[in-house]
Amino acid sequence: MLLWMNISKRVSITSLIIIMLLAACGRASTGNVSPAINLTDMNSTAQSAAVTLFAQTMAPTLTTTVTPTNTPQPTPTALPFKALDGLRVVYTNSKGNLYVQDSGKSAIQLTYNGANRQPLFSDDGQKIIFYGPGKPNFNSVYAINADGTNEQVLITREILSAFGKVYDELTVLVSLAFVPGTHLLLFNTYQPNNYDPETVGWLPLVGNDLFAVNTDTGKIKQLKAPWQGGKFLAAPNGKWIAVQTLDHIDIIDVQGQIIHRNLVTYDKTEAHVIIPMSWTIDAQELIILPSDIPLMAGVPVARDIWRYRVNSGLGTQIKLTPPVTYDKYAVSPDGNWIAYSYDMAYLNPQTTNGVYLGNLRDGSSQLLHTPQPNENTALFDVPLYHDGWSPDSVSFIVHDGNFRLFIGNIHGEIVPIGSSRGIEVSGWIDNKHFLRKDGVLYELGKQELFQVMNYLESFVFLGH
């Protein structure tokens, strides 16, 4: 039982990260004001694939010659290409070298050693961190400026060993994330030789400490010692960090000082190893979605919803009907809404499968979309996969197993916008536009699509 007294996409070797730079002010925004974008016509880039149908006519006698006939098929029409001012990507190519590219411009190669992967941008698009060559089972982390200057190593086993013998050849890096609006990188590790005897048998490979490293200077600091830290989430204000341990959540600042100790407490059980967390955009509240049911329990995981005020530590529970299950949801940036999918009506005849909009202030819920029975796509009728909210907390994207996209909003509307051709959504650029992972731009209320980045290689979107 939880005790409430006082929880970036798996990244491929060739990955691409898309961010919007604040060209107008030259720095990252920590509010919900989105930068304006400017679409400029560029020369169309032909991206066609010949499709040929080979037909054969069976011979009526052994002496008849079989003649194949080629029937040409229409060539797919290339989307018009438009440059999107302020859009920058970073990726590693198939040879393991790092590149940066702005929409409509040529890519610039940054590294040449052929051993780089999983790059990540800072909010302002000026600093990049990435995994580079290292010892077996431990890829060192490097930093470089977007113009190719100031490349340096940030994290190695040798650097970590200065913080104690527990950091040895078995230590594993678990997560990396920039603090919003800064060049400060957070990460934690797992040490197999330093286990908690109470959790042996069910504790997965999750971080249990916390570090911060300045990617400009390389200075590193331990914020939480082993088993005093864990999964973390930096607040949008760039000042606070929610740190989840095996039995409580603390709020600390970027120097490691306690802002609110034991904001949330809970039992040390397998169900509470990882509790989903979301900050509100104003960084005043932490929303968590715990469950008393372990993910691998073999029964549906229904989640509770709690929101905690950081200044007072007071928590409020929100009960939705039907409940949020598993990870089929997305919380709006302002913390007022949750879009979620429910596909377990077979367990409760009083509920209906579909996409719901939940109000995280008053606990009400609204059914937005009920799929029609379709025997050919029975497994994919309910859109289950949530691709995030627009920055203004008005619209959200959800797709089903056939990659059919739907746009919903807080006004109770949801509409299909066609298929994404099996290509996942990257994320929102601003309140009206979002990207697909092949560089295709969608605009709310418009049918026309544009290519704003050349297709490079597969990538995972990590934020902007």
User: Rounded to an integer, what distance in angstroms lies between the CA atom of residue 193 and that of residue 74?
Assistant: 61
Domain boundaries defined on the chain? 16-42+77-451
Convert the pLDDT of each residue in 186-207 to its tens digit: 999 999 888 777 777 778 888 9
Average pLDDT for 423-442: 88
Give the H or E element holding residue 160: helix 157-161
Helix (H) or strand (E) holding 157: helix 157-161
Please determine, for residue 72, whether its predicted confidence score (pLDDT) is greater than 60.
Answer: no
User: Greater confidence, 373 or 127?
Assistant: 127
Contact partners, residue 218, CB within 8 Å, separation at least 6? 143, 152, 153, 154
- Strand-pair partners of 369: 355
Q: Which residues contact 217 (CB under 8 A, 6 or more apart)?
A: none
Confidence of residue 6 (pLDDT cuts 50, 70, 90): very low
- Residue 100 CA to residue 125 CA, distance in Å, equals 10
Phi, psi of 441 (to 5 degrees): -100, 130
* CA dist., res. 40 & res. 349, Å (int): 53
Q: Quote the mean pLDDT of the chain.
A: 81
* Cβ count near 83 (within 10 Å): 18
CA distance 454 to 104: 8
Question: What is the tens place of the pLDDT at every residue in 20-42?
Answer: 433 333 333 333 333 333 333 33
> For domain 16-42+77-451, which architecture applies?
7 Propeller (2.130)
Angle ∠(270,271,276) on CA atoms, nearest 5: 125
Beta bridge partners, 129, equal: 120, 143
Mean pLDDT, range 67-87, rounded to an integer: 69
Residue 374 pLDDT level (bands cut at 50, 70, 90): low
